[in-house]
Amino acid sequence: MQISALRQQLRALGAKPAHEARVLRHWARALPLDQGKPPLAGWLPAPLLAALPELLAQWNSQVQLRGEHPADDGAARLLLGLQDGQTVESVLLPREGVCVSSQVGCAVGCAFCMTGTEGLIRQVTSGEMVAQVVLARQLRPVRKVVFMGMGEPSHNLANVLEAIEFLGTEGGLAHKQLVFSTVGDERAFEALHAAPVKPALALSLHTTRPELREQLLPRAPRLTPQQLVELADAYARATGYPIQYQWTLLRGVNDSAEEMDAVVRLLAGRYGLLNLILYNEVDGLPFDRPDPAAAQALARALTQRGVLTKLRDSAGQDVEGGCGQLRAREAVGRP
Ligand code: SF4
């Protein structure tokens, strides 16, 4: 369901605008009915209150926890069932974050990504995205939501923006703690500039070379890295939030000295941060994880040359948790 449909359900039960906002806030923050100021119990009209447990259970059941895979780094990968039998993954991140999925499958087809191998299966609704956050909040506190799980948010723009607006208002999250992660799409940049809740932006760059990017991200919009960085930089200046440039580091593919020189030419002086992400190897895909010490040296050298760079590991690396791998394991009956 979309958030707009949840609102209609409440109105059909006689909720006034003030009631609607309070019920949605309670749900988005995973608060029990007898908590909050004031608690809903005792404040709502009796018929609406009586209908709420069943309604909230229905909203929560948009995603069902099918498996939890904790990792040593404090992350935990969740395999979630949707009501039509499809599955997506969420990741509970260290430091009160959660990574949610915006699509089942993905059409971009990144050559190094398990999710990209199966194409787009269906969109995830705004209600299902918020339900992923509510489920996470039932397990841990959540102060940050990144739209960086399965799917490309700009290919499901209306639903993602509806979820972001909702989480940045009723969900009580600071706008810069909502992160829209994209391979880059002009329509998405236009929509983000106009959105009432403006999230922070993560841009998946992966290389400075247009021809290599076309090979690695075969169905991403045909914008060059230079054009993407210009668009992202304009958004950073408009919002005051630095851009997170994402770079999945693939050994022997995008980690050469020439590529690092080009990174410095492209990003030095930009309002942003470069995240070098150690690749999580996937069975059947022809890419290798770089040596962590060599990657750390690259990050240090880039920072010294004026590109603030952090080395990141894919959260949940030790539970075979690359994007889409839990879903793929379940599909072939592996635990
Ligand atoms: Fe889609 Fe992201 Fe995987 Fe690329 S890395 S195929 S954009 S889910």
Q: Is the pLDDT of residue 334 over 80?
A: no
Q: Apex CA 105: angle with CA 104 and CA 107, to 5°?
A: 125
Cβ neighbours for 27, distance < 8 A, ≥ 6 positions apart: 56, 59, 130, 134
Per-residue model confidence as pLDDT tens digits over 75-92: 899 999 999 999 999 999
% residues pLDDT > 90 (the chain): 79
Site to substitute for ligand 1 among 91, 106, 114, 247, most atoms within 8 A of C-beta: 106
Å from CA of 135 to ligand 1 middle: 23
Residue-level pLDDT at 329: 56
Ligand 1 pocket, residue 263 CB under 6 Å: no
Q: Which of 32-36, 49-53, 120-124, 212-216 has the lowest mean pLDDT?
A: 32-36
Contact between 79 and 330 (Cβ < 8 Å): yes
Query: Could you give phi then psi for residue 270, rounded to 5 degrees?
Result: -80, 155
Which residue, chain included where needed, has tokens 């969740």? 78
Q: Compute the distance between CA of residue 277 and CA of residue 4 in angstroms, rounded to an integer.
A: 36
Q: Which of 89, 165, 170, 320 is an active site residue?
A: 89
Q: Is the pLDDT of residue 236 over 80?
A: yes
Two tokens at 334? 């592996």
ipTM: 0.99
% residues pLDDT > 70 (the chain): 93
H-type alpha helices, the chain:
3-12, 17-28, 46-60, 126-139, 157-168, 186-194, 210-216, 225-239, 257-267, 292-304, 325-331
What average pLDDT does the segment 225-235 reach?
Answer: 98
- The residue type found at 85 is G
Residue-level pLDDT at 322: 46
Ligand 1 pocket, residue 152 CB under 6 Å: yes
Per-residue model confidence as pLDDT tens digits over 145-183: 999 999 999 999 999 999 999 999 999 999 999 999 999
Q: Is the pLDDT of residue 261 over 50?
A: yes
Contact between 80 and 89 (Cβ < 8 Å): yes
